[in-house]
């Protein structure tokens, strides 16, 4: 029996675990993979998270991140929009960042279990989480931070799971000749690709594509040649980069629909609660901030040694989450509609280039405020 059990050890789950353990809760976290490992992710984080990490004594600078303050967006035909990023951000791989947070959480006393979760049940004010081999873990509070999509969503009967999503994500690490302070977003028909520098003189190259693109061809390499290469900047990037993975990291069925924040008293955070479109490059910051918000709501309404006011906890978390992220996610979905099509992306890049104030407004809407 633990005070809090967290399913999923990404940024949101690890953040909640660290905060709760530091404040006297006994936390158990179940993650199906052992650290360190790669995830499909753009690996760019806005600087809004830095004071928060400093407050936890987590030294991001030790990982050697890149520092990013410039944005370029290219249309399918190759037109370019350039802009400053006033808040700025940094690039760091999930391989290194997640591992650092894991080690920090473990040093605080968080118990890690590296297994897959088969089922979640709630009864008699307890959660019972089962893993292969008929192991059952119990807790008073459970957090679902297992990412974009899981078979657990089906078991929990979450409505979005039954609506097919048209997107897949693909990620590589490459060595290439691009400025270290730049994040570039390249459009292609049915998707867009982000590339930015991370640590160790490497770049993260990650793209989102409609699955319809892949179905037309024999596999990812042919799809890249026939679809992505039509953007001359992407063609040059792929042709003149050293690819460091034997094969890319791939994830299917990525959904940007609204998701529920609670289901039968189970609390969702990170991508499990909702995703910003990758074009906006702030999913990592939102995951970290959502993990913080949820931990704070738990500490407020589920104090150790007293009864849990579950209704107040869920209402508090929902209100705070909506206030912080609802507009950002909505703005991201709106901005996504401007890209991924030849004619529309050309018009969008041309218009935004002529009206830099509008560009800065859109950038601001997808970035949050500094938090501690």
Tokens of 179: 């400025």
Domain boundaries, the chain: 2-366
Give tens-digit pLDDT for 133-166: 889 999 999 999 998 888 888 888 888 887 777 8
Q: What is the pLDDT of residue 148?
A: 85
Q: DSSP labels for 12-66? A: HHHHHHHHHHHTT--EEEE-SSPSS---S---EEEGGGHHHHHHTT--GGGG--E
Distance in angstroms (rounded) separating the CA atoms of residues 48 and 360: 16
Q: What is the pLDDT of residue 328?
A: 82
- Cβ contact 49:324 at 8 Å: no
pTM for this entry: 0.94
In this structure, the chain runs to a length of: 372
CA dihedral 325→5→53→255, nearest 10 degrees, is -40
- What string of pLDDT tens digits covers the 372 residues of the chain? 789 999 999 999 999 999 999 999 999 999 999 999 999 999 999 999 999 999 999 999 999 999 999 999 999 999 999 999 999 999 999 999 999 999 999 999 999 999 999 999 999 999 999 999 889 999 999 999 998 888 888 888 888 887 777 899 999 999 999 999 999 999 999 999 999 999 999 999 999 999 999 999 999 999 999 999 999 999 999 999 999 999 999 998 887 777 899 999 999 999 999 877 766 668 899 999 999 999 999 999 998 767 899 999 999 999 999 999 888 888 877 777 777 777 888 888 889 888 889 888 888 877 788 999
Q: Please check whether the domain covering 2-366 is classified as CATH 3.40.50.620.
A: no
Distance in angstroms (rounded) separating the CA atoms of residues 288 and 270: 7
In 3-state terms the chain splits into helix, strand, coil percentages (rounded to 5) of: 40, 25, 35
Cis peptide before 36 (omega within 30 of 0): yes
Q: What is the pLDDT of residue 305?
A: 64
Q: What is the pLDDT of residue 281?
A: 63
Distance in angstroms (rounded) separating the CA atoms of residues 316 and 298: 9
- Cβ contact 196:203 at 8 Å: yes
Distance in angstroms (rounded) separating the CA atoms of residues 11 and 99: 10
The CA-CA-CA angle for residues 8, 278, 268, to 5°, reads 30
Give tens-digit pLDDT for 12-50: 999 999 999 999 999 999 999 999 999 999 999 999 999
Tokens of 76: 């399918």
């Amino acid at each position: 029996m633990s005070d809090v059990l967290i399913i999923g050890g990404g940024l949101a789950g690890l953040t909640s675990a660290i905060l709760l353990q530091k404040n006297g809760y006994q936390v158990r976290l179940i993650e199906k993979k052992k650290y360190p490992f790669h995830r499909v992710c753009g690996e760019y984080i806005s600087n809004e998270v830095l004071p928060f990490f400093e407050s936890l004594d987590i030294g991001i600078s030790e990982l050697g991140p890149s520092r990013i303050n410039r944005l370029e967006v290219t249309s399918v035909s190759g037109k370019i929009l350039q802009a400053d990023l006033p808040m700025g951000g940094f690039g760091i791989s999930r391989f290194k960042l997640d591992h650092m947070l894991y080690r920090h959480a473990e040093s605080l006393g968080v118990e890690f279990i590296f297994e897959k979760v088969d089922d979640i049940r709630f009864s008699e004010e307890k959660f019972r989480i089962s893993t292969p081999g008929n192991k059952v873990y119990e807790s008073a509070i459970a957090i679902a931070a297992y990412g974009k999509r899981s078979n657990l969503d089906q078991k929990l009967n979450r409505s979005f799971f039954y609506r097919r999503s048209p997107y897949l994500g693909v990620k590589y690490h490459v060595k290439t000749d691009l400025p270290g302070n730049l994040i570039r977003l390249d459009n292609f028909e049915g998707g867009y690709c982000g590339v930015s520098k991370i640590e160790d003189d490497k770049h993260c190259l990650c793209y989102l594509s409609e699955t319809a693109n892949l179905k037309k061809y024999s596999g990812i390499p042919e799809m890249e040649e026939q679809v992505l290469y039509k953007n001359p900047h992407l063609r040059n990037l792929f042709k003149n980069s050293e690819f460091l993975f034997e094969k890319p990291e791939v994830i299917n069925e990525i959904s940007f629909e609204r998701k529920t924040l609670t289901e039968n008293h189970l609390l969702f955070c990170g991508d499990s609660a909702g995703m910003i479109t990758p074009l906006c490059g702030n999913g990592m910051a939102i995951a970290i901030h959502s993990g913080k918000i949820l931990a704070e709501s738990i500490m407020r309404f589920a104090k150790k040694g007293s009864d849990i006011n579950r209704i107040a906890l869920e209402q508090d978390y929902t209100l705070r989450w909506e206030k912080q992220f609802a507009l950002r996610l909505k703005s991201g979905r709106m901005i996504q509609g401007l890209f991924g099509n030849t004619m529309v992306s050309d018009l969008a890049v041309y218009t935004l280039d002529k009206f830099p104030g509008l560009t800065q407004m859109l950038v601001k809407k997808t970035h949050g405020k500094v938090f501690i």
